[in-house]
Amino acid sequence: MLVIGDVKCLHCGFVRGRWVGPKGAALTASGLKDEAGQAVAAPDEPVRCVRCDGPVFLDDASLVTSSYRLRRIRRLREQIAALDAERDRAA
Ligand SMILES: [Zn+2]
C-alpha cells in the first residue's frame, strides 16, 4: 500500500517536498520528489531538513489512488504482448 504526503521538518516546519512510498517505511530519499517531480540523489539516505538538518515526518499523508498505477500496468502489459506478437511473427 503506497502513501503520499509532504515531508515536513519537525523543528522548523520547512516542507522539503512530496514523498511516496510503502506505508510505514522509513523516509528515505528514494521516495522523495522535489517540487519539479524529480527524484533526488542518494536513494538510501534518510531525509533530513535542508534548512536546519532537523528530523522530518510525513505530513498530510494519504493513500495513493491506484488508478494511475493500474492504467500504467495495463499499458505495459499491452506493450509486452505487442512485442511478443512481433517476435512470434519474426520467428
Ligand atoms: Zn528544519
76 CA distance to ligand 1 centroid (A)?
40
pLDDT of residue 63: 85
46 CA distance to ligand 1 middle (Å):
14
- Return the pLDDT at 24: 87
Predicted pLDDT of residue 56: 94
pLDDT string in tens for the chain (91-residue length): 888 999 999 999 999 888 988 888 899 888 887 655 555 557 788 889 989 999 999 998 888 876 777 788 788 899 999 999 999 888 7
Ligand 1 centroid to 83 CA: how many Å? 49
76, 78, 87 from 81: Cα distances, Å = 9, 5, 10
Asked if residue 82 is part of any domain, the answer here is no
**Is the residue at 81 inside a domain?**
no
Report the number of distinct structural domains present in the chain. Answer: 1
- Contacts with 67 (C-beta within 8 Å, 6 or more apart), sequence order: none
Q: How many CB atoms lie within 10 A of CB 25?
A: 13
Any bridge partners for residue 39, and if so which?
Answer: 33
Name the residue range of residue 27's domain: 2-64
Distance CA(32)–CA(22), nearest Å, equals 12
Centre of ligand 1 from the C-alpha of residue 64, in Å: 26
| Whole-number CA gyration radius for the chain | 18
* pTM of the complete model: 0.62
